[in-house]
Structure 1
Amino acid sequence: MNEPMTAIALAGFALVGLTIALVAILKGWHGWLELKRLELSGLQGQSARSPAGDRIEMADLKERVRKLESIAACIDL
């Protein structure tokens, strides 16, 4: 008679543990979704990059073009 009660108790503890784990995962998922919503709403009101970032990207593109032109002209850097 002790063995069925042990099995029921073990199944109950497993169910409680699974419930706790699923609640924690669900709470983390909702937190992650809220973070993404905040990121998206913050980007709608502002530009995605700063002016300094635009200048850095422009300099990077100019460097790439210069390298491609030198390759096209068969000049090794």
Structure 2
Amino acid sequence: MSIDFVSPEGFPILGTAEVVLATARIAGIDPETQEPLYEGGAEIHWNFQETQHKDGKMLFVCSNGQDWTFDQLTQVVARP
């Protein structure tokens, strides 16, 4: 069963905050600054996806792009 939740401001919760490991492609490295010269594109390593937490609580993302912990959310009650 699925139950909907909204942020404290009333925006729908879309998912969880995730960090995904990626390798950004480079064309080289500037020897003076030691900064990469980005080529464009990246390889995403989906096996290293990790849900983010704050103070040990899972973070949920609302449609306004903000992160919230579960205890901050409000359950949406369906009306008949």
TM-score range, shorter chain: under 0.3
Q: How does the TM-score come out when normalised to structure 1?
A: 0.25
Q: Using CA pairs under 8 Å that are at least 6 residues apart, name the structure with larger relative contact order, 1 or 2.
A: 2
Larger Rg over CA atoms:
1
* TM superposition score normalised by structure 2: 0.24
